[in-house]
Amino acid sequence: RLIPEMQPNILSIFFFIQELLRVMRTIDDRIVHELNTTIPTASFVGKVDAGQTCKELYESLMDAHTKRERIIKNCIAQTSSVVKTLREEREKAQDDVALLKQLRKEQTKV
């Protein structure tokens, strides 16, 4: 059967994606710090282009959000594909409790 052989690979991909998303959230988690270091204080107003610096921070945030959205959608598509395959397998072997458990686990991920 195809599914048990795929499971370790899919599981490692899932954890990799989780870690990647955690790293990509760093800028969001540190937004107050980013803003404090981006917007100049009164003594540095003439030395730093606050508008350009804010624009760069905004572009960085938008880029991170776009990448994260792409990764999440890809993960959903892959997991949905696994769910579809498991459903097909489940229709053939309705008494397979392990298969049902695996199907429910994948559905929960989605």
In a domain, 97, yes or no: yes
Give Cα 109 distance to the centre of its chain: 12
In a domain, 14, yes or no: no
In a domain, 77, yes or no: yes
Q: At what angle do helices 97-109 and 2-24 cross, to 10 degrees?
A: 20
Over range 11-23, report the average pLDDT.
Answer: 75
Q: For the chain, how big is the Rg over CA atoms in Å?
A: 22
pLDDT at position 1 is 39
Over range 86-91, report the average pLDDT.
Answer: 89
pLDDT digits (tens, 9 = 90+) for 30-64: 777 777 777 766 666 566 677 787 788 888 888 88
The answer on pLDDT for 4 being more than 60 is no
Residue of 80, 89, 68, 85 whose CA lies nearest to 110? 80
CB 31 within 8 A of CB 78: no
In a domain, 28, yes or no: no
Q: How many domains does the chain have?
A: 1
In a domain, 20, yes or no: no
In a domain, 41, yes or no: no
Percentage of the chain surpassing pLDDT 70?
80
pLDDT at position 5 is 47
In a domain, 96, yes or no: yes
pLDDT at position 65 is 85
Predicted confidence band at 102 (pLDDT cuts at 50, 70, 90)?
confident
User: Which range of residues forms the domain containing residue 92?
Assistant: 65-109
CB 100 within 8 A of CB 67: no
Place of tokens 């959205």: 69
pLDDT at position 84 is 92
In a domain, 92, yes or no: yes
